[in-house]
Structure 1
Amino acid sequence: MTAENIHSVYFVGAGGIGMSALVRYFLSQGVHVAGYDRTTCELTEQLCREGACIHYEDNPALIPDTCRNAHHTLVIYTPAIPAEHKEMAFFREGGFNIRKRAEVLGVLTRQMKGLCVAGTHGKTTTTAMTAHLLHQSHVGCNAFLGGITKNYGTNYLLAPKSPYVVIEADEFDRSFHHLRPFASIITSADADHLDIYGTEEAYMESFAHYTSLIQPGGALIVHRGAQIQERVQEGVRRYDYSRSEGDFHAENIRIGDGRIVFDFVSPMGNIANVELGVPVSINIDNGIAAMALAQIAGATEEEIRTAMITFGGVDRRFDFKLKTDRIVFLSDYAHHPEEIRQSIASLREVFGGRRLTAIFQPHLFTRTRDFYKDFAKSLSQLDEVILTDIYPAREKPLPGVTSQIIYDELRPDMERVLCKVTDVPTIIEQGDYDVLIVLGAGDVDNHCAQITQILKKKYAIG
């Protein structure tokens, strides 16, 4: 996958957060990059400014001439693209080299030492933390991330002289089975994507297979709460971690005044007085995992300590928009019941007895069908919930599956509202809030800028 044998790369679904990192990689290789996406957005516009040629209509006639030679064009697509996509049909019928995004990332893990982060929850933040720790160290790294980092304003980092590539290992569609990690974190393994896997057993088996792909001489680091069966190759070091116990863990945790500081305990050398740049309690676990990978790659104690406090976070992962004594407003990508539970627990720990309200948009009809009772149980830990209609993404509606089935299972005595996502700004204008969080992986986050302005005006924040 170099400029020597690929002259052009065409992306079907160029604006996806994982796809766009590869767009940036191939732009850095000096090849012609073009592609399609369903709608324009800030990310696709940025990719166009960086040199990609992207259009927004599924029309083979719009594919540029530079991407019509099957011998020199690589086509990369996302599994979210529907089977009847016209441009994909054009490429299939023309005999083009067509690859999933995950297959391309898999090639990179064969060319470099892959430091991969897998798990149902926490992988984007942990991957971004790992990339930041190494990027700020003498080791350096290339990185393909599942979110836009606050530190760099991108989801892709390039370091041609570094032997390491940091990759978010996505279990959707068994994508992570294409990777060949040198070392990997597994943050969690709670059943998800049952529309793909069918059963919880099949989902867990996919993680067992993933552990078998780690290369001899490398390492597997598993969170103590992740109940997975492992099949590591001979010569793979095995560690565990958690907040309070394991080969890697934290001691002397100090939480207060908006800060979290702890001592990092590691078989490779302890690091005292580590402070989190994004002080939410779940980032203790994420930080422990990231520091473990950074140590394996060779980052020093002082490099790690300095980088941890400067980590600015990732868009839509505990992404604070306002933070005052009167009002706190933030956005988090949590879209699985366990993620939501952890988000709420983290906010309770940091903000004590303050009143907590969430705006939650369920993501996918199948996930809502499979976990509606678990969603309600997690959301019932709030003081108030504003529950919107379901974001369908790639799916068509399912009979009887609406947000109402979550609403009906909520704690009966809690304050709750069921509404369309477009009604959210009006509801916020009429309510009173203390700590407000937007939860979900859909398009509810598009309203965050408007909500921020509403809250600034409501609470006279300059």
Structure 2
Amino acid sequence: MNTEQMSTHHPDHGTGQHWHFIAIGGHGMSVLAEIALELGHRVTGSDQVAGEEVVRLRERGARVDIGHAAAQVEGADVVVVSTAIREENVEVVRARELGIEVIHRSEAMTRLTAGRPFYAVAGTHGKTTTSAMLAVALEGAGCDPGAAIGGTVTSWSKGSRVGSGPFVAEADESDGSFLRYTPAVAIVTNVEEDHLAYYSGLAQILDGFTAFANCLVPGGLLVACSDDPGSLEVARRAHAAGLRVRTYGQADPVTAQGEPLGVEHVSVREVELTAGHAAAMLHPLGGIESAGITPLRMAAPGLHTVLDAAAAWAAGLEATGTDAHSAARLAQALGAFGGAGRRFEEVGEAAGVRVVDDYAHNPTKVANALAAGRLAVGEGRLIVLFQPALFTRTRDFYAEFARALDGADEAVVIDVFGSREDPIPGVTSALIVDAQPAERAERGASPFALVPEREDAVAWVLERAEPGDLVMTVGSGDVTLLAPQILRALSARDPEPGQSAR
């Protein structure tokens, strides 16, 4: 992409402004704060707890206060918020009183990345892994990318990278903020019903992703999954609107009538899935054949791993060119990808039991995570501790969550992690437990357990875990804190405990 195809947002970086981030410790905010620091801005922020992101930002020179107070925004040039921050937050109120500009984190992203080709990764699930894969692949191919990833990239030990080349970031559909971007490359991994507190249903969600594709700069590229009905529909609409489209997947891209769509395509063939890896052959078609048939081998299990990597490879070709040498370098870098934090993250092993933590928080993500767990555990049992996130999502998808959890041999569900939402009467984790499939009892599988308190759920897991089992903590809330706790307890019963990854 040339400079005429880059974002036209105002370049505020390098001016030494004072940026204040509310809830700075969250992954989405902390990576922006790190980038602002590296670009020469003064950074301050506030959060409720001094987590590891806060500690790292303080070490890099940011002033971070614990707790929210009006005085903390004084002197700032701009205050950055997310959708989760309410208007009545005392820092937001004070900033507006002082005439300080208050901007959404997506606007902060556009300002901090202005003047660079922007690669935006969107989709109901897979954003973090795909964006991390793409950034690592571009790094390995010599493109010196920047990145803002919503999770720790294992090989970087953080989620941000400034770089000088294309900038890779997740584009969040949950609040419509992905429409603020003007990407050079837009990836849509999948489109499903979710975030029904914001959208009325799948039709409006599809319209939102279609609008996202239409935000591409002139000559920009949409990369979409042909295996996912929603993503394929967005590709069809984009192609009909005259946009450049490159699909990827096992299925051929076709029209609604079953005719060839006539777009560039990365055909994912000869898929091989084992307990320790996922592999495939990538066949570039429809005008990009010069990239050559390329082997892909990932050091993580699951079909979703292959598809996310194929998305990254297909998008990466836009930066490197479609010659066979560049294609091979991208695939080689993807093969060395060490994962992203909380995406099937190996926490450790003790007493013959492996512990894995995963951020999955909608039904498809949970099903994919458990499918990977099933491959990884082999003949052992899969034990899952699940924490639903958001009352609205639990209300809207409790039956789908129950079907996803059916992939576990043993499953325990704890209280809903409400995060930014107020409780909804009658909406609890019991909805999921009560909706467990009838076939589960018919085949003699253990029923789901409802154990609201976290400590009690840990004890429940420890009572059942045996050598050869795989324990997974699953959810986007503070359930992640239970994984190392489980590992420590297992280590206490093991005379030669395994090492924790944390």
Measured against the shorter chain, the TM-score band is over 0.9
Q: Secondary structure at the match of 1:81?
A: coil
Aligned to 1:417: 449
Pairwise CA distance, 1:3: 5.2
Amino acid at match of 1:213: C
Letter in 1 for 2:459: T
Cα distance in 1, alignment partners of residues 152 and 250 from structure 2 = 26
Moved more, 401-410 or 241-250: 241-250
Closer, same or farther in 2 for the Cα pair 1:104/1:428, shift >3 Å?
same
CA distance in 1, matches of 2:316, 2:114: 20
- For 2:205, give the aligned amino acid: Y
Say if 2:366 and 2:404, in contact at 8 Å, map to a contact too.
Answer: yes
Q: Which residue of 2 aligns with 1:238?
A: 245
2:314 and 2:80 map into 1 onto residues whose CA distance is: 32
**How many angstroms apart in 1 are the aligned matches of 2:454 and 2:55?**
25
Partner of 1:283: 305
Q: 1:57 to 1:171 in 2, by over 3 A?
A: same
Q: Cα deviations across residues 245-290 of structure 1 (Å, max 9, x unaligned)?
A: 5511322233346233322222332343321032333200111001
* Alignment-derived partner of residue 305 in structure 1: 331
Counterpart Cα distance in 2 of 1:452 and 1:125 = 24
Equivalent residue, structure 2, for 1:251 = 269
Q: Compared with structure 1, are the counterparts of its residues 450 and 351 closer, same or farther at alpha carbon in structure 2 (3 Å cutoff)?
A: closer
Q: Cα deviations across residues 344-379 of structure 1 (Å, max 9, x unaligned)?
A: 223334444432221100001111011111111111
Deviations 1:279-338 (A, max 9, x none): 333200111001111111106133223212211101100101236994332111111011
CA shift at 1:110, angstroms?
A: 4.9
Name the structure 2 match of 1:184.
186
Any idea what the Cα deviations from partners look like across 1:128-176, whole Å, max 9, x if unmatched? 000000112221211111111111011111213x2x1101111121110
Residue identity matched to 2:63: C
Counterpart residue number, 1:83: 87
Question: 1:379-390 to 2 correspondence within 5 Å?
Answer: 379-390=405-416
Amino acid at match of 1:452: L
Question: Is contact 2:384-2:412 (8 Å) kept?
Answer: yes
Paired AA for residue 403 in structure 2:
K
Aligned partner of residue 196 in structure 1, secondary structure: coil
SS in 1 for 2:348: strand
Q: Look up the match of 1:23.
A: 33
Give me the identity figure in percent: 29
Q: Deviations over 1:221-251 (max 9, x none)?
A: 1112142445548663112212455511322
Shift of 1:454: 2.0
Scaled by the length of structure 2, the TM-score of the pair is 0.85
The code of the aligned residue for 2:57 comes to L
Partner of 2:193, secondary structure, is coil
Mapped contact 2:473–2:482 kept (Cα < 8 A): no
Could you tell me which amino acid in structure 1 is paired with residue 277 of structure 2? R
Alignment-mate amino acid for residue 261 of structure 1? A
Residue 371 (structure 1) aligned with residue 378 (structure 2): no
Is the CA contact 1:360–1:438 (under 8 Å) kept in the aligned structure 2?
yes
Question: Which 10-residue stretch deviates more, 412-421 or 123-132?
Answer: 412-421
Name whichever of 345-354 and 306-315 sits farther off. Answer: 345-354
1:205 corresponding residue in structure 2:
207
Give the Cα–Cα distance (whole angstroms) in 2 for the partners of residues 229 and 244 of structure 1.
Answer: 15
Of 242-251 and 220-229, more deviation after overlay is shown by 242-251
Give the aligned CA root-mean-square deviation in angstroms: 2.1
Q: Partners of 1:142 and 1:281 in 2: how far apart? A: 27
> Which residue of structure 1 aligns with residue 58 of structure 2?
48
Deviations 1:107-142 (A, max 9, x none): 456521111110011110000000000112221211
Preserved CA contact (<8 Å) 1:107 1:179:
no
CA contact (8 A) 1:221 1:241 kept: yes
Aligned residues: 454
Q: Which amino acid aligns with 2:463?
A: Q
In the other structure, the counterpart of 1:154 is 158
Q: 1:459: Cα distance to partner? A: 5.0
Q: Which segment drifts farther, 215-224 or 449-458?
A: 449-458
Contact 1:110/1:180 (<8 A) preserved: no
Deviation at 1:388, TM superposition (A): 0.5
Quote the residue 1:126 is aligned against: 130
TM-score scaled by length of structure 1: 0.92
For 2:481 and 2:275, how far apart are their aligned partners in 1? 30
| TM-fit CA distance, 1:68 | 1.6
Matches of 2:275 and 2:104, distance apart in 1: 46
Letter in 1 for 2:400: D
CA separation in 1, counterparts of 2:13 and 2:277? 47
Cross-structure match for 1:223: 225
Give the secondary-structure state (helix, strand or coil) at the position aligned to 1:266: strand
1:426 and 2:459 correspond:
yes
Equivalent AA in structure 1 for residue 435 of structure 2? E
1: CA distance, partners of 2:280 / 2:188: 22
Residues 105 and 178 of structure 1 are in contact (CA less than 8 Å); yes or no, is this contact kept in structure 2? no
What is the rounded CA distance, in whole Å, between the counterparts of 1:104 and 1:271 in structure 2? 39
Q: SS at the partner of 1:26?
A: helix
| 8 Å Cα contact 2:274/2:301 also seen in 1 | no
Aligned with residue 472 of structure 2, among 432, 437, 445: 437
Q: Is the 8 A contact 2:351 2:493 kept in 1?
A: no
The answer to whether the 8 A contact 1:2-1:29 is kept is no
Partner of 1:262: 280
Tell me: CA distance 1:200–1:302, structure 2 relative to 1, closer, same or farther (3 Å): closer
